[in-house]
């Protein structure tokens, strides 16, 4: 009987050891990247992959939810003491709050951290918030990332929502960074100081993309200028910059159309960024003046440009005042009744513009021009229950390409969204 019990114990221990060993095996042994778009339910699996798969070089997380109510618990990695991520070369985070200091499951925390949570809850009804913060300092999710991952190898970074803590803490921690993409909230004023300081202190980049949302109203003195820190970009990044994209969301306030870069701005970029081969900008047009030919001609003077990304208003402000309420998806797009911002964009117009651009381009030939009309929203929207505005599903993207050196018959354009 004792021998049977001993044998059973040995088998049980062996089974538990094997199960634990198996749980630490990499589920992606031949993969170098992880990409996920959805809610936070798969984060535990992705966390395990990062801990157990040393070949992972790239992580792309785009988190959101469907329905009326956001999740009650934060969608964040539940870091365990001692776990390590591979030194990623590419990181993209959208919907992930690095500044979150919420409570973590107690079984993964030290007894002192768990005690702090309990004490904070008990004292929360009698002490002000600032006193609680002073007594019980909570680490941020970024603190846990820094313990788990070496950021010195990161070459490409995309941050898809406000990450002020990251800007404050990481400006000197990214020595290998070459490509940066930011999506920022538009306050109506110039870009906040912590963001401009971040752009000033990080290494000189090869590629920079900034998208700023649309405010309802621009601050006094900022109505007629963009919110981009152009001087910081030029002074610190232009010597090495190859790709630059600066876009703002389209406002639906008729009195507050988004400002554009001036001819002087374009001239400064051209002379300061001699190696630029891609440029993305917003352009203004209206029925009275037509196309901004002076601005278009200025863009064609960049000698090394081979691709352009042009943002065009669809005319959302033409509808917000006189058509209140909800709108159904309109699959007619730019062929619908409108009104739209004129001259109206179409496949034929994009082909004509592309041909004219190639004929008048100075220096290297243009290979690609992308026209984005409106704030393009995919039908696979991820978020709370959504009531579409007039411009939704009317926005379109026109992609024009020519991979030949000089044969016009190779020029072709296509529409995305029809």
232-243 pLDDT per residue, tens = 999 999 989 999
In-domain check, residue 204 = no
- Enclosing domain of residue 123: 102-138
Query: pLDDT digits over 219-235, tens only?
Result: 544 444 567 889 899 99
Greater confidence (410 vs 181) lies with 181
Quick one: which of 256, 262, 98 has its CA closest to 186?
256
The reported pLDDT for the residue numbered 266 is: 95
The reported pLDDT for the residue numbered 110 is: 54
Quick one: which of 78, 291, 92, 55 has its CA closest to 179?
92
In-domain check, residue 299 = yes
Crossing angle, helix 230-237 and helix 263-272, to 10 degrees?
10
Greater confidence (201 vs 288) lies with 201
Q: Return the top range by mean pLDDT from 151-155, 164-168, 182-186, 372-376.
A: 151-155
**Considering its fold, how many domains does the chain have in total?**
2
Q: Which residues contact 110 (CB under 8 A, 6 or more apart)?
A: 81
Q: What is the mean pLDDT of residues 238-259?
A: 86
In-domain check, residue 408 = yes
pLDDT above 80: residue 307: yes
Q: Which residues contact 135 (CB under 8 A, 6 or more apart)?
A: 120, 123, 127
CA pseudo-torsion sign 294, 298, 299, 305: positive
CA pseudo-torsion sign 50, 211, 278, 418: positive
In-domain check, residue 272 = no
> Which of 138, 160, 183 marks a domain boundary?
138
pLDDT above 70: residue 57: yes
pLDDT above 90: residue 194: no
pLDDT above 60: residue 17: no
| pTM score, whole prediction | 0.83
Q: Return the top range by mean pLDDT from 1-15, 262-276, 396-410.
A: 262-276
In-domain check, residue 158 = no
In-domain check, residue 266 = no
pLDDT above 90: residue 102: no
> Which of 138, 165, 189 marks a domain boundary?
138
């Amino acid at each position: 009987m004792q021998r049977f019990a001993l044998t059973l114990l040995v088998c049980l221990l062996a089974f538990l050891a094997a199960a634990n060993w198996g749980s630490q095996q990499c589920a992606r042994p031949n993969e170098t990247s992880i990409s996920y778009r959805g809610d936070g339910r798969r984060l535990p699996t992705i966390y395990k992959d990062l801990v157990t798969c040393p070949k992972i070089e790239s992580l792309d997380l785009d988190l959101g939810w469907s329905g009326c109510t956001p999740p009650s618990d934060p969608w964040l990695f539940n870091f365990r003491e001692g776990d390590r991520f591979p030194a990623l070369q590419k990181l993209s985070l959208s919907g992930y709050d690095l500044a979150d200091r919420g409570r973590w499951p107690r079984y993964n925390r030290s007894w002192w951290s768990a005690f702090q949570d309990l004490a904070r809850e008990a004292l929360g009804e009698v002490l002000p918030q600032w006193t609680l913060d002073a007594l019980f300092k909570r680490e941020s999710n970024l603190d846990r990332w820094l313990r788990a991952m070496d950021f010195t190898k990161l070459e490409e970074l995309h941050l898809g929502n406000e990450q002020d803590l990251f800007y404050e803490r990481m400006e000197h921690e990214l020595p290998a960074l070459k490509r940066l993409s930011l999506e920022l909230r538009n306050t109506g004023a110039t870009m906040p100081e912590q963001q401009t300081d971040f752009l000033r202190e990080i290494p000189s980049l090869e590629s920079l993309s900034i998208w700023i949302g649309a405010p309802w109203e621009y601050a006094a003195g900022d109505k007629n200028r963009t919110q981009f820190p152009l001087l910081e970009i030029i002074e610190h990044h232009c010597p090495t910059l190859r790709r630059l994209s600066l876009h703002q969301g389209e406002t639906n306030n008729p009195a507050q159309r988004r400002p554009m870069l001036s001819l002087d701005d374009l001239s400064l970029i051209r002379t300061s960024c001699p190696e630029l081969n891609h440029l993305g900008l917003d352009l203004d047009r209206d029925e009275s003046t037509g196309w901004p030919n002076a601005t278009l001609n200025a863009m064609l003077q960049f000698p090394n440009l081979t691709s352009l990304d042009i943002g065009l208003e669809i005319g959302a402000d033409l509808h917000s005042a006189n058509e209140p309420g909800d709108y159904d998806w309109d699959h007619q797009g730019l062929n619908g009744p409108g009104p739209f911002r004129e001259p109206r964009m179409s496949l034929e117009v994009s082909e004509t513009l592309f041909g004219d651009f190639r004929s008048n381009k100075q220096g290297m030939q243009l290979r690609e021009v992308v026209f984005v009309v409106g704030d393009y929203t995919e039908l696979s929207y991820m978020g709370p229950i959504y009531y579409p505005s007039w411009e939704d599903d009317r926005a379109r993207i026109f992609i024009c390409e020519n991979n030949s050196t000089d044969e016009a018959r190779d020029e072709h354009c296509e529409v995305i969204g029809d």
